Amino acid sequence: MSDDPFAASDSIRVAADPETVFAFLDDPANHAAITPGLTDVRDVEPLANGGKRLAYTYRMAGVGIDGEIVQTVHEPPERHAFELRGRLSGTIDLRLAPVDGGTELTYAATYGLPENAITKAGAPVIRRFNERQLRAALENVAARFDGSG
C-alpha cells in the first residue's frame, strides 16, 4: 500500500474467466451498479483505443460531484485504466489475471479530492473511505459472478 492517503489498492477472486469479467467491466452501466457513490453515467463515447469517455456523477457526503472519465488503457482481457477529470481527479487501474478457474481482479486507484473535503476530513479519514469504497466495488463485482444470483 502506498503512503499516499489518496491511494488505495486491493484484489479479489472472481468466479468467472478474465474475458467474462473484462466484458462486464467494459460496460459503463455496470460501474454505476457496482461502485458505491456513483449515481449516474451518461454521454458515453467510444474512443479509438477501444475504451470510452463518459460523464458521471459521484455522491460524496450527500453532495453530487460531476466529472469525466477517460479510458486510457483498454487491453482485453487483462486491463482497464481510467483517468478521472473534474473536481474529483485521479486514476483507476483494473487488472485481471487468470487464477484457478476464475479471475484475480486488482483495483488500484489514486484520487484527488476537492480541497474542502481534504481540509474537513483529514488524510486518515480519506484513506479509510477510499479503501472501503474500493473494497465494496470489488465485492460487488465478485457477487455478480458468485453463482447465488
| Cβ atoms of residues 36 and 129 within 8 Å | no
| pLDDT tens-digit readout, 23-68 | 999 999 999 889 988 999 999 999 999 999 999 998 877 788 899 9
Closest CA to 68 of 87, 89, 88, 85: 85
Comparing C-alpha atoms, which of 100, 43, 108, 39 is closest to residue 73?
108
As for how many domains the chain has, the answer is 1
Q: So what's the pLDDT on residue 17?
A: 97
Q: Cβ distance 117 to 21 under 8 Å?
A: no
Q: Give a yes or no: residue 85 inside a domain.
A: yes
Start-to-end C-alpha separation, the chain: 33
> Can you give the residue range of the structural domain that contains 70?
7-144
Question: Is residue 149 included in any domain, yes or no?
Answer: no
| CATH assignment of the domain containing 41 | 3.30.530.20
Phi first, then psi, for residue 136 (nearest 5°) are -60, -40
Q: What is the pTM of this model?
A: 0.88
